[in-house]
Structure 1
């Protein structure tokens, strides 16, 4: 027996008539009769009592009815779930991000928008060191990642460019620089630079000011960077989205007037992604 036999059996049990059941199934009544007879022969017992106009279930048929209904429901559910998974309507995504994606509000907007449209796709969202995130995506430990570019990517990983963002200077409140009405790149030539994960802002400011920067610690995330600034360890060139989102004692943010440096947030993913749910996410980001 296969699932087809269970469907035939259920149609007869519900209609209590072979002709009506055959019409519902779209097959000829003799074909339906033979299929039920084959089931009864294989089971070694009668499933229906035949009367002049209708049929009724035997005790064996009544016992089979409960199991047949459950089996068909489970089979149809498995079919639907497989189809939905193939379309990307269900599934699981491991998503990594850097802190500035949160400060910008972009991560919240895109994750919540996707979750609202595809509520049956589970998302595990974790902060991750930016330098290792692209390789972790390539290795399959993450499916997607929000990083700050420019950043060298391994072969097999691509980036979708999202929003551009400039830089600001984080400095201790008692720094001599705060006495200046305007801060230019050249004013920073003797400063010790605390380095965020994305160092392009620091290097571009130094290039603009025509000096070689004094490089200090690179503690990791932006909060750790600004914490060192608050301890008087140096200054830091950080994404402007931290203003209003990371507020620590003894730290102020100032514009660097002649600094045209910028970076951009990007969604990185495997070049030949196979997971339908992940492909759905990438397509939604590209189209919004």
Structure 2
């Protein structure tokens, strides 16, 4: 069964506005007989008379007036739909799911990217949530996340890549009453007899042990960095954590000390799907990566940090 087409609706609305076949035909860019044919087809398909026509006048019928109100709404919806489609194509409409580890928030990297993106893309809904690092690859692969801030090295599945967006250095968190706390900086070899609380990213801990030439004695693995620091404050254990924590978290019974020797780099990277189809997600990733140059420039500063300083 033949259905009313958009060309019929547009012809009807134009004639209803002009109430003159020649003027309406000119506006539509068609010949007057073609407009007459479209109106006749519309009336036949709707089984109603839309206009009363004489040689001198055109007037809407009762059915035409009723249909006009709905036709205008329909055309308005179509126009807005076209506009939204264009916005979505440009990455200015949609939703982005962002996961993060706490250090990305402590370092300000998360706030910089999400805040900047929300200002430039107000039509995109950005949802953020803290996630366990060992679940990031699967969540990206399954579409539960579109991007995630992680601390390398982290295993990634095929089709997932990560780009470093911030560089810091590792420091030592230890109990305030530890005998080691009296020193401004601590040599890795001095940690031989310590028990280490392990954060999700273990690389810093094992690098300290490698430099100190010992096998680390491992304690709890509480998960988040805040939980790691809580373990340090409650027991006699130490932890190797990003320096940014020393600027953000003051916990009773915990002090931070530099690790002597060349700085041990602590990185934050953004992980995402290599072949992203969503323009909104691609726009977010582009913005996050564009901030990389300024953040990664911290590497030069990190490399020049003196090893004799400390912080309580």
Deviation larger for 81-90 or 95-104: 81-90
Structure-2 separation of matches of 1:108 and 1:181: 32
CA deviations over 1:165-202 (Å, ceiling 9, x no partner): 10111110000001224321111111111111111111
Structure 2 CA distance for partners of 1:39 and 1:65, relative to 1, 3 Å: same
Could you tell me which of 90, 105, 113 is aligned with 1:102? Answer: 105
Could you tell me which of 39, 52, 62 is aligned with 1:36? Answer: 39
Contact 2:137 2:155 in 1 (8 A): no
Structural mapping, 1:82-231, within 5 Å? 82-231=85-234
Aligned-residue offset at 1:114: 0.9
Structural mapping, 1:63-78, within 5 Å? 63-78=66-81
Question: What's 2:15 paired with?
Answer: 12
Contact 1:48 1:58 in 2 (8 A): yes
Structure 2 gaps of 5+ residues are 292-312
Aligned-residue offset at 1:266: 0.8
Question: What's 1:248 paired with?
Answer: 251
Runs of 4+ residues deviating >4 angstroms: 51-54
Contact 2:184 2:258 in 1 (8 A): no
Structure 2 length-normalised TM? 0.88
**What is the SS of the residue equivalent to 1:211?**
coil
CA deviations over 1:42-77 (Å, ceiling 9, x no partner): 223321122455422111110111111111112222
Structure-2 separation of matches of 1:265 and 1:97: 10
**What is the SS of the residue equivalent to 1:154?**
coil
Aligned-residue offset at 1:86: 2.7
Contact 1:205 1:259 in 2 (8 A): no
CA RMSD of aligned residues (A): 1.5
Aligned-residue offset at 1:259: 4.3
User: Structure 1 residue 46 and structure 2 residue 49: aligned?
Assistant: yes
Aligned-residue offset at 1:131: 1.4
Aligned-residue offset at 1:256: 1.0
Structure 1 length-normalised TM? 0.95
Question: What's 2:295 paired with?
Answer: none
**What is the SS of the residue equivalent to 1:149?**
coil
Structure 1 gaps of 5+ residues are none
**What is the SS of the residue equivalent to 2:133?**
coil
Structure-2 separation of matches of 1:46 and 1:146: 63
Structure-1 separation of matches of 2:260 and 2:169: 11
Structure 2 CA distance for partners of 1:205 and 1:143, relative to 1, 3 Å: same
Question: What's 2:306 paired with?
Answer: none
Structure-1 separation of matches of 2:283 and 2:232: 41
Count of matched residue pairs = 288
Structure-2 separation of matches of 1:57 and 1:254: 84
Contact 1:143 1:278 in 2 (8 A): yes
Structure-2 separation of matches of 1:84 and 1:244: 40
